[in-house]
């Protein structure tokens, strides 16, 4: 693994895009209300949460995901199209399937699993696109 050939700005940028997509995806206007219903989280519970900690850790974890994907895609032959494809396959084949496996044992609803899987598929596809395009 050659860390010297990584585009750190692309990694940071794709992590920020993934983070931003989460703000849109889990917004009450999109899937937020549905997600809260499926998880049993109430507005009162959400208001008591330590949001700076949650947001900070979410940003850190998004950065780690972007770095990991960048390491897998660390080849000059990989462009935007291939990057988006690798991001999609990572989101669908690994993350979504892990959510579905775990969700079965936790007796989660299909809706719950689709909300989380959809976010990760869309987010990693965008991440891969950015990492592949921004060389």
Q: Does the structure show a pLDDT above 90 at 20?
A: yes
> pTM (2 decimals)?
0.95
Work out the mean pLDDT of the chain and round it to a whole number. Answer: 97
pLDDT at residue number 135: 84
pLDDT at residue number 2: 81
Mean pLDDT of 110-134: 98
pLDDT in tens, 38-96: 999 999 999 999 999 999 999 999 999 999 999 999 999 999 999 999 999 999 999 99
The domain limits of the chain are: 3-133
Q: How far, in Å, CA of 64 to CA of 81, rounded?
A: 22
List phi, psi (to 5°) of 27. Answer: -70, 145
User: Residue 26, SS3?
Assistant: coil
Q: Closest Cα partner for 69 from 89, 54, 55, 99?
A: 89
* CB 18 within 8 Å of CB 126: yes
């Amino acid at each position: 693994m050659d860390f010297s050939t990584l585009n750190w700005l692309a990694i940071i940028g794709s992590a920020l895009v993934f983070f931003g997509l989460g703000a849109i995806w889990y917004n009450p206007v999109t899937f937020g209300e549905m997600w809260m219903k499926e998880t049993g989280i109430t507005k009162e519970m959400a208001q008591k949460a330590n949001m700076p900690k949650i947001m900070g850790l979410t940003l850190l974890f998004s950065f780690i995901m972007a770095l990991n994907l960048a390491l897998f895609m660390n080849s000059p032959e990989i462009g935007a199209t291939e990057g988006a494809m690798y991001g999609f396959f990572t989101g669908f084949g690994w993350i979504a399937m892990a959510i579905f496996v775990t969700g079965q044992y936790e007796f989660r609803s299909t809706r719950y699993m689709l909300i989380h899987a959809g976010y990760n598929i869309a987010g990693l596809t965008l991440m891969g696109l950015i990492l592949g395009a921004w060389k």
